[in-house]
Amino acid sequence: MRIATAAYPMDPVESWDAWTRKVEGWVAEACDGPGADLLVFPEYGAMELAHLDGAAAAGDLETSLHAAARHGPRAQEVWAELAGAHRCHILAPSGPWDARRDRPVNRAWLHGPDGTLGYQDKQVMTRFERDPWDVIPGDPLRMFEVGGLKVGVLICYDVEFPALGQALITGGADLILAPSCTDTVAGFHRVRIGAMARALEGQCVAVHAPTVGACDWSPAVDENRGRAGVYAPPDLGFPETGIVAEGMPDIPGWVRAEIDPAAIARVRREGSVLNRAHVAESVAAAARME
């Protein structure tokens, strides 16, 4: 499977056509040449849609939340069309979503060449999402089938929690996608470390896609730090560092990697350590703590 993960800059788009041209260009670049089978965009990349309602709307936290949510369904139609046109899978940028609850959720949609596979909501809110934004947890974790691999999504803060990763790993996840939006280098590294830890304990591949760049027009996503990366267990068939591919810090663009499903199966079967097979043993040992 050929993977492209984005370090994505958000722009104050002035019109629907401008936004469409932007995302069409990003997808076309990822699918150029041999092309990517799976494209991963970051958390809260959909906040640039708020600027379609004007600078004042984008500049107000609560208003921008609802503006982005209102444009969300139409944006997913575009992402779905792009996945079909390029015969690829796209994890679209997550964003506020009206899930017919008291408050919005943070939702990422996964589209395939033959239609939309579904969505994943964020499970655990950060301090900022709790207050002042008041974004709430959404529907439970789920698993997707992409190119013969089982794929789970842990949005930003979610990937920092072993229990959520373990739920996906127990469900058979081969890939864990970790879209993120962090405003400091420390925040980026928390997500990166979480992604690498999930790859280690699940003997799987984790794909990290961050937002990058300054957005002075938005109080929600005004600063963005990170680098895109693809991580694996540092064991048989994978790099000793666990880093399959990684971009430059804070530089927009695609990071690409090619993952052989057989390599995941092999490391789980023949690796120097068998973390995934020994998880139940570790849980039992932890339960005996005095």
Strands 229-231, 253-258: pairing kind? unpaired
State pLDDT tens for residues 184-202. 999 999 999 999 999 999 9
Residue ranges of domains in the chain: 2-287
pLDDT per position as a tens digit, 207-235: 999 999 999 999 999 999 999 999 999 99
Question: What is the H or E stretch that residue 206 is in?
Answer: strand 205-212
CATH of domain 2-287: 3.60.110.10
Q: What separation in angstroms does the CA of 184 have from each of 45, 180, 190, 191?
A: 16, 12, 10, 11
Mean pLDDT of 171-186: 98
What is the rounded average pLDDT of the residues 146-163? 97
Catalogue the long-range contacts made by 278-285 (C-beta closer than 8 Å, 24 or more residues apart): 279/166, 279/169, 279/170, 279/201
Residue 201 identity: E
- The percentage of residues in the chain with a pLDDT greater than 90, rounded to a whole number, is 98
How many angstroms separate the first and last alpha carbons of the chain? 45
Q: What percent of the chain has pLDDT over 70?
A: 100
pTM exceeding 0.95:
yes
